[in-house]
Amino acid sequence: MERRYPDPAVRVLDPRFNALRIASASVECLYEGARWSEGPVWFGDGRYLLWSDIPNNRILRWDEATGEVGTFRQPSNNANGHTRDREGRLVSCEHLTRRVTRTEYDGSITVLADRFEGKPLNSPNDVVVKSDGSIWFSDPTFGIDGFYEGEQKAPQLKPAVYRIDGQSGEVTLMTDDFIGPNGLAFSPDESVLYVVESRATPRKIYAFDVADGGRALENCRELIDAGAGTPDGFRVDVHGNLWCGWGMGTDELDGVRIFTPQGEAIGHIALPERCANVCFGGRHRNRLFMTASHGLYAVYVNTQGVKGG
């Protein structure tokens, strides 16, 4: 990585991005050695980050105080996306077992969803928790398409986005209009849900209005046409900007692409590998962690991730 300030890897595509970058902060590589890094989630109370190494069937842990990396869980059931619920518990999407789980305080596992209308889910991919305690997750077929990130199986359900009610645990289908729903996140006020469509050509990011007290989606519209890029997982900052894992194997595309709430590209953080997902962490939620192919990267930014993001 570059050793000078400002880091040329942090690229301004629009002057509005200048307010979000820190001239004396550079991109750091924290770890190399994964097969496919995904699903970062920050634990501020323990000062550590968890993320998935899907094909190696493990969840890794990076400790902020020591910089050391160890194995948090193996096997992980080819876990992919993670988040924390409003009680601080780990919520995970598992490809192999085709389910969404919660890790309790004592380390035991609770299954939150593994079927819909009696049929097994495909392979839950990414997940976010709303302030009302509801859990929203995408369910494409990526983990059952082959034997690399799970076990090959024939899908019995259409790819979809689901909601798990925070009180009753009821699973509700929110939309099944996408071939490959992937990353998802809420706007800071939770009035908008963003969803990545990974199997479109070109790939796109759509926005929905959240209606009926958070129990329905309406007014689907295209927000971002990715062109040659590949949006994957993403998070939203307190200003509503989207920080999207990005790439397609070129220096111009690999890394993180930053968009305004209106879908305008304003910045790019270049990485030597395609970035699959991101999260905000650190004491002030102003450190962007990036899981990219074989590695884990981080950079301090002049904004904060939304709570729970």
What's the confidence (pLDDT) of residue 67? 98
Domain encompassing residue 305: 1-46+228-309
- Residues paired with 186 in a beta bridge: 193
Residue 139 and residue 264 in one domain: no
The mean of the pLDDT values for the chain is 96
Residue 100 and residue 161 in one domain: yes
Is 61 among the domain residues?
no
Is 183 among the domain residues?
yes
The 265-270 sheet, strands edge to edge: 10-12, 265-270, 255-259, 242-246, 234-236
What's the confidence (pLDDT) of residue 55? 98
Percent of the chain past pLDDT 70, that is, above it, reads: 99
Is 268 among the domain residues?
yes
What's the confidence (pLDDT) of residue 248? 87
Condensed to tens digits (0 to 9), the pLDDT of residues 90-143 reads 999 999 999 999 999 999 999 999 999 999 999 999 999 999 999 999 999 999
Residue 197 and residue 236 in one domain: no
What's the confidence (pLDDT) of residue 249? 80
Residue 100 and residue 208 in one domain: yes
Residue 309 and residue 192 in one domain: no
Residue 220 and residue 275 in one domain: no
Residue 143 and residue 233 in one domain: no
**CA 61/CA 80 separation, integer angstroms:** 14
- Which residue, 224, 244, 260, sits at the end of a domain? 224
What's the confidence (pLDDT) of residue 3? 75
Catalytic residue, from 7, 53, 85, 232: name it.
Answer: 232
Residues annotated in the binding site, as ranges? 38, 125, 182, 232
- Which residue, 166, 192, 224, sits at the end of a domain? 224
Residue 213 and residue 135 in one domain: yes
**CA 271/CA 173 separation, integer angstroms:** 36
Residue 143 has phi, psi (to 5 degrees) of -75, -15
Q: How many domains does the chain have?
A: 2
Helix (H) or strand (E) holding 79: strand 79-84
Percent of the chain past pLDDT 90, that is, above it, reads: 95
Condensed to tens digits (0 to 9), the pLDDT of residues 27-79 reads 999 999 999 999 999 999 999 999 999 999 999 999 999 999 999 999 999 99
Residue 211 and residue 248 in one domain: no
Task: Render the burial of 254-266: b for 16+ CB within 10 Å, e for the rest.
Answer: bbbbbbbbebebb
What's the confidence (pLDDT) of residue 4? 87
Is 64 among the domain residues?
no
Answer yes or no: 114 catalytic: no
